[in-house]
A and B are shown apart, each in its own frame.
Chain A
Amino acid sequence: MGDALRRLFLSIGIGLGLVSGQSDPSLIASLFHEAGALMVSIRVENAFSQGARDLVEAGTRVALRFSAQVESDSKGTLRVEETRALMYNLRTGRYDLALGGGRTAALVDPQAARALASESPALRLCDISEAREGARVVVRAEIGIIDSRGAWHDAPVLWNYFGPRAVLTHDRAGDGGR
């Protein structure tokens, strides 16, 4: 009862603009087929909390790691992952975004930079024929900090220890992204 009242008045406060609401990150993932391959797209909503944004603005490299794994018929468990790291470059005044595969981007708009850092649109899992029919595809997202030597450090505290996860089911006939 007390918690419900607190939530009610908090949403009034957010509505009046007196306080900015902070939501837990949520993971949105879907499977699809492309050129005979099973692909997965992953996106995290609310990936950058106020604390994480502050760190990015202060020049800390905040990173998101997306991973997906599926049981294949012939190769056992297949796992793919991609890391995207974002920081504000004080020298250039742009947001440096490190995409997977050594690609980088420099963006001016913080919202666009955060949106790009929060998604991994097409990760190739395996050939469609390799993935077992009805196999579970477990998708995860983690948040971390990249130190000055380029090493990853888990930082679940930036998500208040909430680790979003999704389980999808592979359908050879054409994945609907469930």
Chain B
Amino acid sequence: MRRFISATIITCLFSLAVTAQSLPIRFSDGKPQIAYRLFSTWADNYQTDARRGKTAAETILFTTGAVALAGSALTWFGGDDISRNMSGSPMDPSLKPNLTLGLGIGGGALLISGMIVAAAPIKDYRAIYADVFEEQDSEVQEAMAASVLRYQADRGKERRVTSFLMAFAVPLIAGAIQAGVNVGRGQDWSKDLLSTVGTNSWWMAGSVVSIFQKTPEERLYQRYLSTRDALYGSAK
């Protein structure tokens, strides 16, 4: 059975190499590289996804920013005419400057955010891990790639746990602030406490989902381990 699984995996890896063209499978000591293959695909995919995500974020931020600014200008210069056409009376004099200002500030903030996103460089893992990509000994290259997969998986787990704890802390901190404010005002410390904690507990709900959902890097390392073990048996 194990032999069959190994043969299937090797065939799959071969067909991947043939179809991918760009990266032929290298062998270390007669064994196909597993970690390096997964690692290089991960690095390339990360690059492509990051570029795509950056373009999408820029488009959304610049478009909504421009629309908000245009809305602000329209409110200021044509708000009364629009209001007259729709309700027969000019705009509420207190609403006009507030709406103009709100849209203007919001639009400006979105445009600035778009500029920040546009200026932020995308992490180039091909440059960061240049020594792994350029290593000539395929056995050593495989070992280095395995260590990168492990490192990235660990960082992924750290991110997952950290964001879970942070999200868990938000309602508690909000509750503590509410209690502090109540005491400061001389009111019952528990006044509105439940509603404050309840409103912020959406964070908590989201984090509970994320704690059980492994990051792509963790799944990738798991994939490496299971493929390696299927081919060569468990290391220890």
A64–B194 Cα gap in the complex (Å)?
Answer: 56
CB neighbours (8 Å) of B29 from chain A are 148
A154–B151 Cα gap in the complex (Å)?
Answer: 18
From 50 to 95 in chain A, residues with beta carbon under 8 angstroms from any chain B beta carbon are 50-52, 54-55, 57-60, 88, 90
- Residue-wise interface mask of A (10-26) relative to B, using a CB-CB cutoff of 8 A (1 in contact, 0 not): 10110000111010000
Partner of B144, one of A6, A12, A151, A155: A155
Q: Does A158 contact B (CB under 8 A)?
A: yes
CB distance from A57 to the nearest CB of B (A): 5
CB neighbours (8 Å) of B162 from chain A are 6, 9-10, 13, 19
Q: Does A131 contact B (CB under 8 A)?
A: no
Q: Does A169 contact B (CB under 8 A)?
A: no
A52–B147 Cα gap in the complex (Å)?
Answer: 6
CB neighbours (8 Å) of A13 from chain B are 158, 161-162, 165
Q: Does A156 contact B (CB under 8 A)?
A: yes
Most B CB within 10 A of own CB, among A9, A49, A59: A9
B169→A19 contact, CB < 8 A: no
CB neighbours (8 Å) of B236 from chain A are 57-58, 88, 90
Partner of B148, one of A5, A19, A90, A157: A157
**How many of chain B's residues touch chain A, expressed as a range?**
20 to 34
Stretch among B60-68, B114-122, B131-139 lining the A interface: B131-139
CB distance from B226 to the nearest CB of A (A): 14
A55→B146 contact, CB < 8 A: yes
CB neighbours (8 Å) of A160 from chain B are 151
CB neighbours (8 Å) of A9 from chain B are 161-162, 165-166, 169
**How many of chain A's residues touch chain B, expressed as a range?**
20 to 34
- Residue-wise interface mask of A (26-64) relative to B, using a CB-CB cutoff of 8 A (1 in contact, 0 not): 000000000000000000000001111011011110000
Residue of B nearest to A53 (CB): B150
CB neighbours (8 Å) of B135 from chain A are 153
Q: Does A145 contact B (CB under 8 A)?
A: yes
A55–B157 Cα gap in the complex (Å)?
Answer: 20
A51→B147 contact, CB < 8 A: yes
A51→B151 contact, CB < 8 A: yes
Known: A58-B236, A59-B235, A145-B143. A19 touches B158 (CB 8 A): yes
Residue of A nearest to B228 (CB): A58
- Residue-wise interface mask of B (140-158) relative to A, using a CB-CB cutoff of 8 A (1 in contact, 0 not): 1001101111110010011
A5–B170 Cα gap in the complex (Å)?
Answer: 12
Q: Does B129 contact A (CB under 8 A)?
A: yes
A145→B169 contact, CB < 8 A: no
A157→B144 contact, CB < 8 A: yes
CB neighbours (8 Å) of A51 from chain B are 146-151
B147→A54 contact, CB < 8 A: yes
From 130 to 178 in chain A, residues with beta carbon under 8 angstroms from any chain B beta carbon are 145, 147-148, 151, 153-158, 160
Partner of B150, one of A54, A153, A154, A155: A54
A147–B165 Cα gap in the complex (Å)?
Answer: 42
Besides A9-B161, A51-B147, 10 other A-B contacts (C-beta < 8 A): A9-B165, A49-B151, A50-B151, A57-B235, A88-B236, A147-B137, A148-B29, A154-B131, A155-B144, A155-B147
Instruction: Show 6 A/B contacts (Cβ-Cβ < 8 Å), sorted by A.
Output: A9-B169, A19-B158, A51-B151, A54-B146, A54-B150, A57-B235
